[in-house]
Amino acid sequence: MLYFFAMTVVYPLYAPGGYLHIGEVKYAFFRNVSLAAAAAVIAVMLCTCLIRRDKGWLLGVYKRMSVTDWFAYGYLVAVMLSYLCSAYKKDALWGVEGWHMGVVSQMIFILSYFFFSRYFHMDEKWLKLWMLSTAIVFLLGICNRYSVYPVVMQGQGKGFISTLGNINWFCGYWSVTAPMGIAAYWSSDKMRVRIPAGIYSVIAMLTGITQGSSSAYLVFTGMLLILFILSLNSNRRLYRFLELCMMFTAACQLGRAMKYIPGLEYNYKIYDAVESMVSYILLDSNSTVWAFLLLLGCYILFRVLDKHGLFCIERHKWLWGILTAVVILVAAAAVVLWLFDNGVLGLCDIPPQTPEEDTSFGIYFDEEWGNGRGVAWNCGMEAYRSMDILHKAVGIGPDCFADYVYSVPKLADKLMQWFGALRLTNAHSEPITLLVNNGMLGFICYMGILVSGFARYLKGAGKQPVLYLCAVSILAYMVHNLVSFQQVLNTPFVFIILGIGEKYDRDTLQRITSEGTCDE
């Protein structure tokens, strides 16, 4: 509980030197507090075994292994093999400066997963405390984006936000923590949960819309899509989903209204020089007003029909198909819009083949999209293809992406042409970075942890609704990190959530087994 409090309440707000060296400061806090907590837990475990003289007590909680547990063990082995086969032992152990995703951090992630999954119980008050702390971080981010700085931070500027650093790091933290409150509102029937969760959801949505990183829109798309699919089994859940969608459009209009308040200035457009198409649609056009009215009309219609016994989503399978098709089309359109908005795809002129033909348009992939993400992705995949069989299996070492990529002359030249003196330390895509750093073995085990956790917690959420929070947060993390990276403000939290979800899932299964035994 002390470690949970330190990580979820103190850690996000901890920034003693402002934005100067904030990455190093955050990592030092995470490493020192985590290792101290791990040492304390292990010491208590050993003392308990000595007092009780019962080794079975220590090993008992690890005997029943889930699929996610096995993937976690496999990832631990993969990380150690990757380290042993690495030619860059120092960086592989501690990680490169500014990132620190080496063996030490990876082992802390796995330890936190196992400790939380075996020894922690998160009741309602702990969740509320976490949401309160996160809401403060989000509110500071909203203030900063509108040129208000309640907390003076050294080195502050339009590119930094809240107490977390640049927008990529901020959005990484947001992608894990924002879905918890949104899923809590959607899944809970208790007003004492729904009211604070609803307030939190609006704050989280406004934060995601205004903070500046366009990867937030991928998170919104993935999160709302899975909640919609889950809403098709009951009227109540469908109403909750529509309420969340209305909250989203209301948050857009709130962000728009704040632009006109004297003393507030939305500064990301100035920082970015050009306002994105998505930002314009959400914050400057009337599109979300019309969307709100459409959603409100559907909501009232469904409620009226339901009151007269004429609407039951479980019985109207044809409506399932129509709604699913509409949402998938909207999601696909949102993704395509995001691809064009970020320059991943673009239109180019195709000259006519014959004099009779007119010039037409074609779609091309821009390698330099997203501040060079296209270049980073291509170089990452080329680096993996250039490895020998051993290193394709185990990787070149945790956090050693830069060490290897810059040792390949062709790739080094390409990266230096685009990034200049800046050193690319990851591919800005977690799956590609995992392949290079930890090989196919590490990639399979790591993705196995996330995918199996998401699937199992979603399956068990019918009996334990808290698991919805865990599942949606894990999905949001995976979607976000398709275009982002591991760092000390997002990955530690997703492993804590994985551990909490595993604990609830194990306890639920144990309770069901015990009840079944009693009945027999």
- Give per-residue pLDDT as tens, 135-169: 999 999 999 999 899 988 888 888 889 999 889 89
pLDDT tens readout for residues 100-149: 999 999 999 999 999 999 888 877 788 889 999 999 999 999 999 998 99
* Residue 389 confidence (pLDDT) above 80: yes
- Tell me the pTM: 0.89
10 Å Cβ neighbour count for 17?
A: 12
Residue 376 inside a domain? The answer is: no
The residue ranking higher by pLDDT, 404 or 328, is 404
**Residue-level pLDDT at 76:** 96
* Residue 188 confidence (pLDDT) above 80: yes
Q: What is the DSSP letter of 233?
A: G
DSSP letters of 359-428? PEEEEEE-TTHHHHHHHHHHHHHHHHHTS-HHHHHH-S-TT-HHHHHTTSHHHHHHHHHHHTTS---S-S
pLDDT band at 520 (very low <50, low <70, confident <90, very high): very low
Task: State the Cα–Cα distance between residues 27 and 250, nearest whole angstrom.
Answer: 36
pLDDT tens readout for residues 419-470: 777 788 898 899 999 999 999 999 999 999 999 999 999 999 988 889 999 9
Residue 380 inside a domain? The answer is: no
Residue 486 inside a domain? The answer is: yes
Give me the mean pLDDT over the 250-273 stretch: 82
**Residue-level pLDDT at 342:** 55
Bridge partners (DSSP) listed for residue 165: 161
Task: State the Cα–Cα distance between residues 383 and 399, nearest whole angstrom.
Answer: 14
For β-strands 160-161 and 345-350, DSSP reports them as unpaired
Residue 277 inside a domain? The answer is: yes
Mean residue pLDDT of the chain comes to 85
Give me the mean pLDDT over the 314-327 stretch: 67
The residue ranking higher by pLDDT, 315 or 258, is 258
Q: Domain of 279?
A: 2-320+420-519
Q: What is the DSSP letter of 88?
A: -
**Residue-level pLDDT at 344:** 57
Place of tokens 């640049």: 166
| Number of residues in the chain | 520
Give me the mean pLDDT over the 334-358 stretch: 56
**Residue 43 to residues 34, 39, 121: CA-CA distances in angstroms?**
14, 6, 20
Residue 482 amino acid letter? L
- Total domain count, the chain: 1
Residue 16 inside a domain? The answer is: yes
Helix/strand number for the chain, H first, E second: 23, 4
pLDDT tens readout for residues 41-62: 889 888 888 887 766 666 667 7
Bridge partners (DSSP) listed for residue 295: none
Residue 441 inside a domain? The answer is: yes
**Residue-level pLDDT at 337:** 65
- What are phi and psi for residue 330, nearest 5 degrees? -65, -45
pLDDT tens readout for residues 211-256: 888 889 889 989 998 998 888 888 888 899 999 999 999 999 999 9
The residue ranking higher by pLDDT, 364 or 324, is 324
Task: State the Cα–Cα distance between residues 114 and 16, nearest whole angstrom.
Answer: 31
The sign of the CA dihedral 226, 230, 232, 237 is: negative
CB 65 within 8 A of CB 31: no
Task: State the Cα–Cα distance between residues 268 and 166, nearest whole angstrom.
Answer: 12
**Residue-level pLDDT at 415:** 84
CA 446 to chain centre: 15
**Residue-level pLDDT at 353:** 55
Region of 127 please: left (phi>0), alpha (psi -120 to 50) or beta.
alpha
CB 269 within 8 A of CB 223: no
SS3 161: strand
pLDDT band at 518 (very low <50, low <70, confident <90, very high): very low
Residue 403 inside a domain? The answer is: no
Residue 472 inside a domain? The answer is: yes
Bridge partners (DSSP) listed for residue 348: 362
